[in-house]
A and B are shown apart, each in its own frame.
Chain A
């Protein structure tokens, strides 16, 4: 199973990549919005962890494209944002995010959400 991690925070990308690989996932990485969209189309990941504040096409634009394209609309998207702006959170929900988590994300919560969206065994969240 491949997870696309789209975030311009290199530290966070490295952390998530290491912990996802430890759980048996393959990881694709995108550091900006354009990369995120093109990688999602190309690699068709099983799920996407998407930071909302990225250069070259914000996470909002990427999320809108993902959820309106027939090629990607079924891919679960967990949106992360460091913003506490209520309007942004409403927009994220309206655009069809499957989960929204505040940054810095509680990683246990993140992996629980990911496991739930992928119907993995709760507790381990490991790929069978």
Chain B
């Protein structure tokens, strides 16, 4: 199943393939490259968030979530983007307890996004 077919078969897709492809002006190879770069960098970004959350450091959490949100914005990955944005806002407001929960939700969304991005690499549209 191609990524596009998979997306159409999954209403709750973590990634809007059509929108992501529009951002690369229809260049599936470029979109695949972007997915590879993101997946290479993702563990570092997640580690930054985990460290910041374990330090209960709002400013660090805010920065780390902001950085991850920026990367996610390139993929039209609305659920993970919104989860990162929520974490960023909670940290900005100093709501650490809620930020811990939001960080967990963000990791869950990233877990859903990961295979969708891998599909872009292994089976470009």
Chain B residues with Cβ below 8 Å from A107 are 23
Chain B residues with Cβ below 8 Å from A51 are 70
Known: A10-B41, A14-B37. A82 touches B30 (CB 8 A): no
Q: How far is B75's CA from A112's CA once the two chains are assembled, in angstroms?
A: 21
**Is the Cβ of B74 less than 8 Å from the Cβ of A12?**
yes
**Is the Cβ of B27 less than 8 Å from the Cβ of A18?**
yes
Residue of A whose beta carbon sits closest to that of B24: A15
**Is the Cβ of A9 less than 8 Å from the Cβ of B70?**
yes
> How many A-B contacts at CB < 8 Å in the complex?
51
**Is the Cβ of B66 less than 8 Å from the Cβ of A18?**
no
Chain B residues with Cβ below 8 Å from A15 are 23-24, 30, 34, 74
A90 lies within 8 A of chain B by Cβ: no
Chain A residues with Cβ below 8 Å from B25 are 19, 22
- Digit string of A14-52 for contact with B (CB within 8 Å is 1, else 0)? 110011001000000000000000000000000000010
**Is the Cβ of B66 less than 8 Å from the Cβ of A104?**
no
| Shortest CB distance B121–A (Å) | 13
B71 lies within 8 A of chain A by Cβ: yes
**Is the Cβ of A53 less than 8 Å from the Cβ of B74?**
no
**Is the Cβ of B24 less than 8 Å from the Cβ of A104?**
no
B4 lies within 8 A of chain A by Cβ: no
Interface positions, chain A 32-91, Cβ under 8 Å from B, are 51, 53, 82-83
| Shortest CB distance A7–B (Å) | 8
B93 lies within 8 A of chain A by Cβ: no
Q: How far is B37's CA from A11's CA once the two chains are assembled, in angstroms?
A: 6
A122 lies within 8 A of chain B by Cβ: no
Residue of A whose beta carbon sits closest to that of B69: A82
Known: A82-B66, A82-B73, A104-B74. A11 touches B30 (CB 8 A): no
Chain A residues with Cβ below 8 Å from B73 are 12, 82, 103-104
Residue of A whose beta carbon sits closest to that of B25: A19
Q: How far is B27's CA from A53's CA once the two chains are assembled, in angstroms?
A: 28
Known: A9-B74, A12-B74, A22-B25. A53 touches B66 (CB 8 A): yes
Chain A positions near chain B (C-beta within 8 angstroms): 8-12, 14-15, 18-19, 22, 51, 53, 82-83, 103-104, 107
Between A and B, 5 residue pairs with Cβ closer than 8 Å are: A11-B75, A12-B70, A14-B30, A18-B30, A51-B70
